[in-house]
Amino acid sequence: MLAFILRRVLQSLVVMLVVALVSFALFRYVGDPISTMMGQEATIADREALRERLGLNDPFVVQFFNFVTRAAQGDFGISYRLQQPVMELILSRLPATLELALVSGVLAFVFGVGFGVYTALNRRGWMSGAIMSVSLIGVSLPTFLIGVLLIWLFAVELQWLPSFGRGDVVALGDWWTTGFLTTSGRASLILPAITLGLYQMTLIMRLVRAEMLEVLRTDYIKFARARGLSNRAIHFGHALKNTMVPVITITGLQLGAIIAFAIITETVFQWPGVGALFINSVRFVDVPVMAAYLMLIAVIFVVINLIVDLLYYAVDPRLRVDRAGAGH
Amino acid sequence: MTGGDMQEPLLTVRDLVVEFPMRRGTLRALDQVSFDIAPGEVLGMVGESGAGKSLTGASIIGLLEPPGRIAGGEIRLRGERIDNLPPEAMRRIRGRRIGMVFQDPLTSLNPLYTVAQQLIQTIRTHMDVSEAEARKRAVALLDRVGIPAAARRIDDYPHHFSGGMRQRVVIALALCAEPELVIADEPTTALDVSVQAQIIDVLKEICAERGASVMLITHDMGVIAETADRVAVLYAGRVAEIGPVRDVIQHARHPYTRGLMGAIPTLEQTSDRLVQIPGAMPRLNAIPKGCAFNPRCEQVFERCYSERPSLRQAAPNHQVACWLTEEGSA
Ligand SMILES: Nc1ncnc2c1ncn2[C@@H]1O[C@H](COP(=O)(O)OP(=O)(O)OP(=O)(O)O)[C@@H](O)[C@H]1O
Ligand code: SF4
Ligand SMILES: [Mg+2]
């Protein structure tokens, strides 16, 4: 078990280093940081002095090492555009993105699994047919279009929900701000969360349905029926548990994807999260912010991956090493 | 059909018809299958692949898979009809009164639950006992089916057991709610030859101890000869012959049974007596008129092409569906 975790952590570190290299290359070679920072009128001597001070004349390996060390301490430098420490900027935007992703993820998971199980168990029912057809729309419409449609219907026509922003937020602790505690905050979450989660929900639903149908055909389900177990025990115990083994992996990875895809949703809904921050940084070639965002997404993916592996391990006893004494 | 001094049968199957409605007409997979199983009796069921053995078992335990459906006849357990029960009533019979052992122990057990969890859940589904009591019973039963160190091994997952051991677990699961009838569908086919005999012995012994009847489906006439009290021979979804094992093996009356018997390797019969029946069993959409065996029968005559022979008494307790027997004994 320990060896397994260690191995996965090591792999994660390697992945992070590779991403760091990409971010660093971005940092170093996209545009000239000196001219971005000093503007056009600085003298050559001034430029050279800054270059020396920032260590830009050091050998590549040394620069990369310094970059990684500072990144590990959360230091990504100062945003060119906003003249604030990058880490501060990201931290102030992160709660908005994480809360949005969390709500979308929970929506996608709960409804995805629920609809998946329902359509698998009632394969021939008309409701299942309806759910499947609607879900086809879910996968084929682009996210921004869904967002715009939702805004048009619920914000413009019906005027039930706000069309942009995060509503009122409440500070929790040093840097976290939450929209969960105010009515306008909760109302503002609904449309973006649906927009962001719809695609993932459809994916999860189709996966759960396919897996569940597969599991329902297995011999152990037949045998469970032959032993007279109740439908509830068979469907929601024996079958669902086996269905969830592969679903956990995909769902976990989808959560990473949700955070990454939040860029589009945040743009459509002017949601003050890191995705919107990233888009603005790209527009202004604000390289430190871009690099930090890349690293952040990588960390999130790696951590989610790790958690998924551990979950997988907890659910499926076949992956565990034989316990002592459980031999032949 | 009156068996004379036979006690009331545990299971009665009468004129059972199973059909599959297909786009191009209905397939009749079982056609008027009839047999009885007495309390405590082991009935062997043999027949080529596709003869309808598994479908017969599935019909009895109420697990025919759609679109398959019972289109005629009746099934009675201790005189009560069970073929038309509501699903919930039938569910309570499964496991509790009729147990089933499937072919492949590697796939019959849920990989994500321990043996204890599966046994205890099954026991408590059917019996009003505490978790601790159920566990005690489960351990005793595992011990009885021959799992060494059962009290410890019960908390292992299925993948910790070998194939033979898993089939013992499967048998324990099928028997844990003390059913009166156990349907074993080729319980050893998937196992290593070296453990096949042990598994059959365990199954037979425990059922004998508890007075449970067994319907043993197998391709292995050797197993039938050693284990069964009576044997039913199925051909193309019909019963060809049914009777006490000795009679059927030594005095097979149906030409098909005689062909099958040629395939048993026994001490007296050397290999030069092996009879190979030419031809193959017809597909369900091409069963010939009259006797289904007529294209392959060496003794076929006119009547066999026009009229279907029904099961008739040939000797006490021994029934055959063949015009030859009809005429010979009538
Ligand atoms: N879902 C189905 N649709 C159509 N025909 C089916 C279906 N299931 C079974 N059958 C037919 O029913 C017949 C009997 O099948 P069954 O499984 O009972 O045979 P069996 O005697 O158990 O054979 P085996 O020895 O191979 O297990 C076969 O001819 C098969 O083709
Ligand atoms: S009825 Fe005719 S064809 Fe059928 S087994 Fe008897 S002799 Fe052969
Ligand atoms: Mg079969």
Q: What's the CATH number where B97 sits?
A: 3.40.50.300
- Please tell me which residue of chain A has the smallest CA distance to B174: A227
Q: B230-254, pLDDT tens digit by residue?
A: 999 999 999 999 999 999 988 889 9
| Chain B residues with beta carbon closer than 8 angstroms to that of A241 | 110, 112-113
Residue with CA nearest ligand 1 atom 22 = B54
Q: A241-263, pLDDT tens digit by residue?
A: 999 888 888 888 788 888 888 88
Confidence label for A137 from pLDDT (cuts 50, 70 and 90): confident
Residue B201 included in any domain: yes
Q: Do A242 and B162 touch (CB under 8 A)?
A: no
Residue B3 included in any domain: no
How far is the C-alpha of A115 from the C-alpha of A139, rounded, in Å? 15
| Chain B residues with beta carbon closer than 8 angstroms to that of A245 | 112
Tokens for B40?
């405590």
Q: A267-284, pLDDT tens digit by residue?
A: 888 889 898 899 888 888
CA–centroid distance, B102 to ligand 3, in Å, is: 9
What is the pLDDT at residue B316? 85
Q: Do B121 and A229 touch (CB under 8 A)?
A: yes
Query: Is the CB of residue B173 below 6 angstroms from any atom belonging to ligand 2?
Result: no
What is the pLDDT at residue B21? 93
Residue B134 included in any domain: yes
Task: Give me the residue from A225, A231, A322 closest to B63, CB to CB.
Answer: A225
Note whether A107 and A193 are within 8 A (CB): yes
What is the pLDDT at residue B1? 44
Domain that holds residue B139: 11-264+282-320
Position B38 pLDDT exceeds 90: yes
Residue B329 included in any domain: no
Which has the higher per-residue pLDDT, B71 or A50? B71
| Chain A contact present for B222, CB below 8 A | no
What is the pLDDT at residue B13? 96
Residue B276 included in any domain: no
How far is the C-alpha of A26 from the C-alpha of A80, rounded, in Å? 14
Position A131 pLDDT exceeds 80: yes
| Chain A contact present for B178, CB below 8 A | no
Position A53 pLDDT exceeds 80: no
Query: Is the CB of residue B29 below 6 angstroms from any atom belonging to ligand 2?
Result: no
Task: Give me the residue from B92, B107, B160 closest to A220, CB to CB.
Answer: B107
| Chain B contact present for A226, CB below 8 A | yes
Position A39 pLDDT exceeds 70: no
| Chain B contact present for A242, CB below 8 A | yes
Tokens for B292?
């289904």
Q: Say how many CB pairs under 8 Å bridge A and B.
A: 84
The strand pairing partners of B11, in sequence order, are B37, B77
Q: Do A228 and B121 touch (CB under 8 A)?
A: no
Backbone phi, psi, residue B152, to 5°: -90, -45
Which has the higher per-residue pLDDT, A319 or B131? B131
CA–centroid distance, B54 to ligand 1, in Å, is: 7
Average pLDDT rounded to a whole number, residues A21-48? 75
Residue B272 included in any domain: no
Average pLDDT rounded to a whole number, residues B296-303? 90
Q: Do B110 and A245 touch (CB under 8 A)?
A: no
Cα B99 to the center of its chain, rounded Å: 11
Pure H helices in chain A: 2-29, 33-38, 44-53, 60-72, 86-121, 126-140, 143-150, 183-216, 219-226, 231-232, 240-268, 274-283, 287-315
- Neighbouring C-beta atoms of residue A148, cutoff 10 Å: 15
A241-246 long-range contacts, CB within 8 A, separation 24+:
A241/A315, A241/B110, A241/B112, A241/B113, A242/A211, A242/A215, A242/A218, A242/B110, A242/B111, A242/B112, A243/A117, A243/A208, A243/A211, A243/A212, A243/A215, A244/A315, A245/A312, A245/A315, A245/A316, A245/B112, A246/A207, A246/A211
Percent of chain B with pLDDT over 70: 92
What is the pLDDT at residue A56? 73
Position A74 pLDDT exceeds 80: yes
Q: B2-34, pLDDT tens digit by residue?
A: 444 457 899 999 999 999 998 888 999 999 999
Average pLDDT rounded to a whole number, residues A216-241? 95
Domains and CATH numbers, chain A: 96-270 (1.10.3720.10)
Confidence label for A325 from pLDDT (cuts 50, 70 and 90): very low
DSSP H or E run through B247: helix B245-250
Residue B275 included in any domain: no
Note whether B38 and B6 are within 8 A (CB): yes
What is the pLDDT at residue B264? 53
ipTM of the modeled complex: 0.90
What is the pLDDT at residue A11? 86
CA–centroid distance, B277 to ligand 2, in Å, is: 14
Distance from CA of B70 to the nearest CA of A (A): 18
Query: Is the CB of residue B45 below 6 angstroms from any atom belonging to ligand 1?
Result: no
Residue B24 included in any domain: yes
| Domain tally, chain B | 1
Helix, strand or coil, per DSSP, at residue A290:
helix
Position B272 pLDDT exceeds 50: no
Q: B84-119, pLDDT tens digit by residue?
A: 999 999 999 999 999 999 989 889 999 999 999 999
Considering the entire predicted model, what is its pTM? Answer: 0.83
Distance from CA of A320 to the nearest CA of B (A): 11
What is the DSSP pairing of strand B11-22 with strand B69-77? antiparallel
In sequence order, what E strands does B23-97 have? Answer: 25-37, 42-46, 69-77, 80-81
| Chain A contact present for B134, CB below 8 A | no
What is the pLDDT at residue B94? 96
Terminal Cα-to-Cα distance of chain B (whole angstroms): 15
| Chain A residues with beta carbon closer than 8 angstroms to that of B108 | 219-220, 223
- Please tell me which residue of chain A has the smallest CA distance to B101: A223
In sequence order, what E strands does chain B have? Answer: 11-22, 25-37, 42-46, 69-77, 80-81, 98-101, 181-185, 213-217, 230-235, 238-244, 312-315, 318-320
What is the pLDDT at residue A318? 77
Note whether A150 and A255 are within 8 A (CB): no
Q: B185-209, pLDDT tens digit by residue?
A: 999 888 888 888 899 999 999 999 9
Confidence label for B44 from pLDDT (cuts 50, 70 and 90): very high
Position B141 pLDDT exceeds 90: yes
Among the listed residues B125, B21, B116, B11, the one whose alpha carbon sits nearest the alpha carbon of residue A232: B125
Average pLDDT rounded to a whole number, residues B42-60? 94
